[in-house]
Structure 1
Amino acid sequence: MHHLIIGYGYCGYHLAQYLLNRQQTVTAISRHLDESMNLPGLRHIIHDINKPFLWQEKNTVLYYLIPPASEGEQDKILETFLSLSSIQPAKIIYFGSSGVYGNHQGNWVNEQSSCNLDHPRQHRRLNAEQQWLTFCKQHQIPCVLLRVAGIYGPNRLPVQAAIAQKPLLAPHEAPYTNHIYVHDLSEIAYQFAEKIELSGIYNIADGKPDLLGTLQQQVAQALGLEAAPYEPWEQIWALASPMKREFMLASKRLSIDALRATLKETLRLTSLSEAVINSLKEEGNFS
């Protein structure tokens, strides 16, 4: 089996690393390659997916990790890729976003829950899912859509925020948020790849939702730093980035019952506290 990664960024790198460590054949596609991300055994192809792409090896699992562009309500990047390219893989695995659910006032959501779309980014993500479903149905290709929670891991931790004691929302005002450790995400993707005929939509998270700010608190605790103070909603909102405001307005708890039922005993999920320590060790920030 050949593993083809379209979009070789943070998650693509860790996925490729996981696959190569299991003696898999891996090719990654991106517009450029940072030398620090060049892994032994990896075949990398520099390619702009806005141009035609030909892949003739059928015994391939294709992982698509490119997020939509930042404008509009459709994923035009994916639309162009599918219209110009010639691909016929054995399976598609799309790395999507649990953001498609929008705000559920802190309630549990599963794959059948409504998508309360109130931001163009959510529309783009849902449109990408629909494009893949249509393409795979037309070409009779098994397709797994991953609705992925917030990804963290080595070099993707709020270390500077913890050091600066960046104020957090008070617990009674904080929305629920969901996380997945990047190494667990890579393993889950590979397990879905091995189930070659399986199709479906799956929430991908650790199954233990936390209040917004918990990750920063875990990092501070692991580094022995003083805890950040709490501030009221209005003060946090005033200084929040557009992305953080989306998180603040999208409280939900992701159910991973479908994921557990499908992967059963092979599903291994790392606790937030353990994953934070492991990530800091990989960064060289923890001894």
Structure 2
Amino acid sequence: MELLVFGHGYSAGYLTPLLTARGWRVTGTTRGDPDRVAAAGAHPLRWPGQEDEVRAAIARADAILVSTAPAEGGDPVLAAFRDDLARARPAWVGYLSTTGVYGDRQGGWVDEGSVLDGSGPRGQARIRAEADWQTLARAHDLPLHIFRLAGIYGPGRGPFQKVRDGTARRIIKPGQVFSRIHVEDIAQVLLASILSPAPVGIYNVCDDDPAPPQDVIEHAARLLDLPVPPAVPFDQAQMSPMARSFYGDSKRVRNDRIKRDLGVSLRYPDYRTGLAALLAAEDPASHCH
């Protein structure tokens, strides 16, 4: 069995070992970091660059995972390989989207049936990409599954480094909540879906505990036994436009479907269990006392 990953990055790096342990071969495209792809246990292909090899991989893939962000003109995978995908016969196609497609709900709950109201160019681009993939899937009977990922954290992508080096801030915007997900839980959701495809599936991938971002920073500081970083009002905070745009959306995301339909039991159901595990993995000695 073979999985082809378009854009073999952080999340695919955690899925790959789960599949290779089951005897799968994983091929992953990368713009320029084949060593990182190979280190995860996948066979790297450069794309752009090795289009013929990518086409051959599409033709033989049992499963295809799309982990590339939309570009100016739409989805880059569809732009380059639409005809090859139309001819392919995988048992599973997965598209990694984002909960940004729901837009701002002022802290309210959304589920997979909620209206897509993504704000700003990134949310709108994701909505269009989802629709383009669904159009292709309907026209050519492709078993498409869409995964709307919340904010991803995990090894190397947690708040600890910023807390340690003194650059973390607790930015306070009243009523602001985010949903998040540990990368290992993304991998197990994808694995469960690949092993029992159920098109046409759309799944929110997030933990059980949407929380204000400042609470996560404060908890990280307490775990490290370091001073809690200062509170900064949102309207006074110096932030990049990208960082600021994340605060434009406040919502709580339901995850019942991954549990009910995929039988997933989250390893890290909230940020507290996730951060404790990250810290323990960093420093096994921290759990000796």
Taking structure 2 as the reference length, the TM-score comes to 0.87
**1:187 aligned onto 2:188:** yes
- Aligned partners of 1:214, 1:139: CA distance in 2, in Å? 46
Q: 1:218 and 1:17, CA in 2 relative to 1: closer, same or farther beyond 3 A?
A: farther
Superposition CA RMSD, Å:
2.4
Q: For residue 46 of structure 2, what is the aligned residue in structure 1?
A: 46
Equivalent residue, structure 1, for 2:267: 269
Letter in 2 for 1:258: R
Alpha-carbon offset, residue 146 of structure 1:
0.5
| Paired residue type of 1:234 | D
Is structure 2 residue 248 aligned with structure 1 residue 249? yes
Deviations 1:58-105 (A, max 9, x none): 5x1111101123x4xx52413313436454322111111000111001
Alpha-carbon distance in 1 for matches of 2:40, 2:255: 34
Partner of 1:57: 60
Task: Tell me the distance in 1 between the aligned counterparts of 2:244 and 2:284.
Answer: 29
> 1:136-285 residue pairs with structure 2 within 5 A?
136-163=137-164, 164=166, 166-170=168-172, 173-236=174-237, 239-264=238-263, 266-270=264-268, 271-284=270-283
Q: Give the Cα separation in 2 of the matches to 1:273 and 1:194.
A: 29
- Paired amino acid for 2:207: D
In the other structure, the counterpart of 2:24 is 24
Once the two structures are superposed, residues 93-133 of structure 1 have per-residue CA deviations (whole angstroms, 9 ceiling, x without a partner) of: 11110001110010000112122233011111111111111
Query: Retained in 1: the 8 A contact 2:34–2:44?
Result: no
Is 1:89 aligned with 2:90? yes
Q: Quote how far apart the aligned CAs of 1:197 are.
A: 3.8
Structure 1 residues 40 and 101, CA gap change in structure 2 (3 angstroms): closer
Secondary structure of the corresponding residue to residue 213 of structure 1: helix
**Alignment-mate amino acid for residue 93 of structure 2:** I
Paired residues in the alignment total 279
**Tell me, which stretches of 5 or more residues in structure 2 are unaligned?**
none
CA distance in 2, matches of 1:242, 1:174: 20
- Where do 4+ consecutive residues of structure 1 move more than 6 Å? none
The CA distance in 2 between the partners of 1:122 and 1:46, in whole Å, is 28
| Between 225-234 and 120-129, the greater mean CA deviation after superposition | 225-234
Cα distance in structure 1, aligned partners of 2:262 and 2:211 = 23
Q: Is the 8 A contact 1:206 1:269 kept in 2?
A: no
Q: Aligned partner of 1:251: which letter?
A: S
Deviations, residues 238-275 of structure 1 (Å, cap 9, x unaligned): x12222222211000001122222123x4333132222
Task: Provide the secondary structure at the position in 1 that maps to 2:267.
Answer: coil
2:69 aligns to what? 67
Task: From the superposition, tell whether residues 34 and 220 of structure 1 become closer, same or farther in structure 2 (CA, over 3 Å).
Answer: farther
Post-superposition Cα deviations, 1:194-235, rounded to whole Å, max 9, x if no partner, equal 112432211110121001233322322222211112122211
Q: Secondary structure at the match of 2:39?
A: coil
Cα contact 2:159–2:168 (8 A) shared by 1:
no
Q: Is the 8 A contact 2:205 2:255 kept in 1?
A: yes
- Gap change, CA 1:281 and 1:161, over 3 Å in 2: same
The 1:22/1:218 distance shift into structure 2, 3 A limit, reads farther
- Structure 1 spans left out of the alignment, 5+ residues: none
Q: In the TM superposition, what is the alpha-carbon distance from 1:173 to its structure 2 partner? A: 1.1
TM-score calculated relative to the size of structure 1:
0.87
Paired-residue identity, %: 27
Cα 1:281/1:21, change in 2 over 3 Å? farther
- What secondary structure, in the 3-state scheme, does the structure 2 residue paired with 1:16 have? helix
